[in-house]
Amino acid sequence: MFKFLRWYRMPRLYMSTQRFLQCDLAQTAFTIFSWIIGLFMLNHLIACFWLLLGKGFEASPSWVPAARQLYMQQSHGEEPGDWYFYATALHWSVTLFTPASMEVTPKNFWERLYNLAAILISLVIFPTFLTSITNSVFVFRNKTSDYRKANHDLNKYLQDNRISLDLSIRIQSVVLAHHENKRKAARLHEPDVSLLELLPRSLKEQLHAQLYQPILIRHPMLKALAACHEQTLTTICDMAMSQASLGSAEELFAYGKETEHMYFVVRGCLLYFEGPSPSPGIPEEVFAGDWFCDHALWVRWIHRGQMTGLEPCELAKLDCSSFRNVVGQRTMVHTMCSRFAECYFAAITHMLECCCCNDLGCPAEKLDNIVRLVAMPSFENSPSFLDK
């Protein structure tokens, strides 16, 4: 029973911890707590060596006999224990990092030398500790200052217009939820990290391959391409892939525009409205793990609907022009993709005739069938549809 509870609770505890650490306040508190723990461990080491030094010279003038004598005077002859000496040494160590003072002082040359060394260490460590905490709090205040001002304006607006308490609470809860979703969706992309520009081409290619290849192989044709020509897919990851964020209710593309990218949903949910304007019908939801607009890799495609974010989303974009350039430089890959393009063109033509083709593309099962058909030897001399 206990094993089951441990197995059941640990993943939930891990997920709760991950969500907690994504909060700005939690990150700031964790940074400050880490510095405090680190400073305490340093004080612990300094105190242990100070206690060891005092006991090593216990026969000669030392701080340990002096502390024992003072304790016995105050406790009517009771002998102090080892924990008392450790607490006294730790107290002495902490006072070196602060303006405080205490009754323990060096009693011989080696203790005084050690005291000087510990003071020099504190002169370096403690200002760094204070600076780090100050910077963490300053960064946290900068992150939240805009929201606090906007929240203050919202409260003032609701109060000035005498909005009821119930409606005000509902409005503030919705606004807070949207703000949290937007903040959590904020994700650094490669152009935002200036130091990545210093990477050599080989390392950048490996970075892009690890970042994008697990996303690309969701598509059956790109998975087959990875199995047969992995280096080509690595080049596609490096030359044709990019990242994008989409906010809630933000439009990704509109009806009638020419398609330039294929999209993979990494996180979030989108709504697709088929037709020239959002229809009164139920839109289709696109979730993380899905892809759409893969038509543009093989044929010229005009958007047949509108895509908007239902919630903050992260997308991976495959540039169709760059994809065709990479594929066109490799004869075997070009031939393989030409076979797929021919079959794909026939499939979407049939779907268009049935009025069931939109920007979401063919079902995965149909794509799997096309990939298996492409692998058959009867397509050795099929014409190229990549250039159409």
The answer to whether residues 121 and 205 belong to one domain is no
Among residues 111, 133, 155, the one where a domain terminates is 133
In order along its 388 residues, the chain shows pLDDT tens digits of: 444 444 444 444 444 444 444 566 777 788 888 888 888 898 899 999 988 888 886 567 888 888 888 888 877 778 888 888 899 889 988 888 887 778 888 888 888 898 899 888 888 888 888 888 888 888 777 777 767 777 888 888 888 888 888 888 888 887 777 666 666 556 778 888 888 888 898 999 999 999 999 999 999 999 988 888 889 999 999 999 999 888 777 889 988 888 999 999 998 899 998 887 665 567 889 999 999 999 889 888 898 889 988 888 899 999 999 999 999 898 888 888 888 888 888 888 887 777 677 888 888 888 888 888 876 544 344 444 333 3
Residue 384: other Cβ atoms inside 10 A: 14
22 part of a folded domain = yes
Q: What's the pLDDT at 59? A: 60
Classify residue 371: in a domain, yes or no. yes
Same domain, 243 and 99: no
Name the domain boundary from 133, 163, 187. 133
Q: Which residues are within 8 A (CB) of 214 and not within 5 positions of it... i.e. 6 or more apart?
A: none
* CATH, residue 279: 2.60.120.10
**Cβ-contact 294, 340 below 8 angstroms:** no
Assess whether 120 and 224 both reside in one domain. Answer: no
The predicted structure's pLDDT at residue 320: 92
Residue 125 sits in the same domain as residue 205 = no
**Domain check: are 104 and 242 in the same one?**
no
Q: Which residues touch 61 (CB under 8 Å, ≥6 apart)?
A: 107, 108
The residues that bridge with 308 in the sheet, in sequence order, are 251, 271
Phi and psi torsions of 58, nearest 5°: -65, -25
Q: What angle do CA 247, 250, 255 make, to 5 degrees?
A: 145
Cβ contacts of 136 within 8 Å, gap of 6 or more: 28, 31, 32
Map tokens 């759409």 to a residue: 292
Residue 321 has which token pair?
């022009």
Same domain, 225 and 342: yes
180, part of any domain: no
Same domain, 126 and 210: no
Domain membership of residue 157 (yes or no) is no
- Residue 279 is predicted with a pLDDT of 58
Decide if 295 contacts 348 (C-beta within 8 A).
Answer: yes
- Residue 175 inside a domain? The answer is no
Query: In this structure, are residues 289 and 278 in contact, taking their beta carbons and an 8 Å threshold?
Result: no
123 and 206 share one domain:
no
| Residue 50 belongs to domain spanning | 2-133
Do 107 and 228 reside in the same domain of the chain? no
* Same domain? 228 vs 347: yes
Domain-ending residue, one of 108, 133, 158: 133
Rounded distance between C-alpha atoms, residue 217 and residue 291, angstroms: 11
- Nearest Cα neighbor of 290 from 221, 195, 215 is 215
Q: CA-CA distance, 359 to 270, in Å (whole number)?
A: 13
Residues in the chain: 388
Assigned domain for 195 exists: no
Asked whether residue 120 is domain-assigned, the answer is: yes
SS (H, E, C) the chain: CHHHHHHHHHHHHHHHHHHHHCCHHHHHHHHHHHHHHHHHHHHHHHHHHHHHHHHHCCCCCCHHHHHHHHHHHHCCCCCCCHHHHHHHHHHHHHHHCCCCCCCCCCCCHHHHHHHHHHHHHHHHHHHHHHHHHHHHHHHHHHHHHHHHHHHHHHHHHHHHCCCCHHHHHHHHHHHHHHHHHHHHHCCCCHHHCHHHHHCCHHHHHHHHHHHHHHHHCCCHHHHHHHHHCHHHHHHHHHHHEEEEEECCCCEEECCCCECCEEEEEEECEEEEEECCCCCCCCCEEEECCCEECHHHHCCCCECCEEEEECCCEEEEEEEHHHHHHHHHCCHHHHHHHHHHHHHHHHHHHHHHHCCCCCCCCCCHHHHHHHHHHHCCHHHCCCCCCCCC
Task: Say yes or no: 236 and 128 in one domain.
Answer: no
Q: Confirm if 172 and 166 have CB atoms less than 8 A apart.
A: no
Same domain, 25 and 118: yes
* Number of structural domains the chain divides into: 2
Does residue 146 form part of some domain?
A: no
Question: What pTM was computed for the model?
Answer: 0.59
Is residue 288 within 8 A of residue 268, CB to CB? The reply is yes
